[in-house]
Amino acid sequence: MQTEGKVRTLAADCDVHNDLTSTASLVPYLPDHWVEHFLQSEFKGPSDNYYPPIQFLDRGQVAARSGGGDGDPDSGQRVKALDPAAMRAYLDHTGADVALLNCCYAVDSLKNPDQAVALARAVNDWQIAEWLDVDSRFRASLVVPIQVPSLAIEEIERVGDHPGFVQVMLPARSAHPYGSRLYHELWATLVRHDLVAGIHYGGAPGNPSTAVGWPSYYFEEYVGMALVFATQVVSLVTEGVFQRFPEMRVTLSESGCTWLPSHMWRFNKDWKNLRSLTPWLKRSPAEYIREHFRLTVEPFDDPDQAAGLERLADRLGSDEMLMYSTDFPHQSAEPQAQRLAGTLPEGFASKVLWENARDWYRLDTPRH
């Protein structure tokens, strides 16, 4: 396929959302006990949500951005999920060859661990049956009950070898920083199954979203989420996770990304002064970050995305850390892959759109 005289650039969209509109969709995948509990009690799944409803496109916007003509833009309805057919239409529209599905279903908010396990299992079986088995372009993140790491490990052991799963979704907000040794066996399991740890925007662990207590407004939480991601980066590096698990890979999804270069600079500066406190670190923090972290590019904090991506790669000291994403169906969702390819230098465009994700997620490995 040719685009303006050039060979079409392959593209992997590393963050799209197949979130559930209702727990009722999981009924076919739940054990009888939990179906009865769901039908006869007030429990209808997690009551927490990582996003307010306005963060998602209405049906008319979804139709427009997927290239379809259906949907009533004046209906006032909001959607938090798309069916596979609509997602395929969106991939056709944007020119993505692979899409990584991140289902933001807040099982981490549930205090009953048995509920969390049952729903996580059902979500993953739903993803296999209704997404991964219907289109080979789809890859997905496992949903796990991260509030009990041993139970998260059990779920990874159960379905982590399915070829459609390439990542385990971990909400950025957690009960403990991810570098804590509480999670070491989890990281060992991810490495054993060759899965990426996908730290994604959101989380509802029950503790405040800031280090100084609860904010008053969602806007404060939204702006402050970059600080949550920064905390997780510091924790993973400082507590020696990558020294212990040198094959571990972490993606920061929907974190924004322009904050990271200055954070790396400060992290390096303070490490030089305090490195005696962490003698197990054999290299500078920036070196660990460049090797073990990748970032999805949406939402991007620069009005000129193409020029901004080039500047960002230069400041990161790497052209391998950035991966194309659209964040669909959030309202920030954009841009088309081939349009972006036409605005970036050819070699850099190929890295951002395809090569970095191909190498990170082993996308050359065929699905069976």
Task: For residue 192, give the nearest of 238, 161, 222 by alpha carbon.
Answer: 161
**Tell me, what CATH number does 116's domain have?**
3.20.20.140
Q: Among all chains, which residue has been given the structure tokens 């290299």?
A: 283
Q: How far is CA 52 from CA 48, 49, 192, 311, in A?
A: 10, 7, 36, 32
In a domain, 368, yes or no: no
Element (H, E) at 138: strand 138-143
Burial of residue 364, with CB atoms counted within 10 A of its CB: 0-12 exposed, 13-18 middle, 19 or more buried: exposed
In a domain, 304, yes or no: yes
Partners of residue 270 on adjacent β-strands:
none
pLDDT band at 339 (very low <50, low <70, confident <90, very high): confident
Residue 332 confidence (pLDDT): 60
Task: For residue 177, give the nearest of 247, 125, 232 by alpha carbon.
Answer: 232
Q: Tens of pLDDT along 22-81?
A: 788 899 999 999 999 888 888 888 878 887 765 555 545 555 555 554 443 333 333 444
In a domain, 366, yes or no: no
In a domain, 117, yes or no: yes
Total structural domains within the chain: 1
Residue 4 confidence (pLDDT): 46
Cα separation, 252 vs 270, whole angstroms: 23
Q: Tens of pLDDT along 130-187?
A: 999 999 999 999 999 999 999 999 999 999 999 999 999 999 999 999 999 999 999 9
In a domain, 289, yes or no: yes
Residue 45 confidence (pLDDT): 82
Q: Would you say the C-alpha torsion 108, 114, 119, 120 has a positive or negative sign?
A: positive
In a domain, 4, yes or no: no
Cα separation, 129 vs 357, whole angstroms: 24
Domain hosting 136: range is 10-360
In a domain, 93, yes or no: yes
In a domain, 69, yes or no: yes
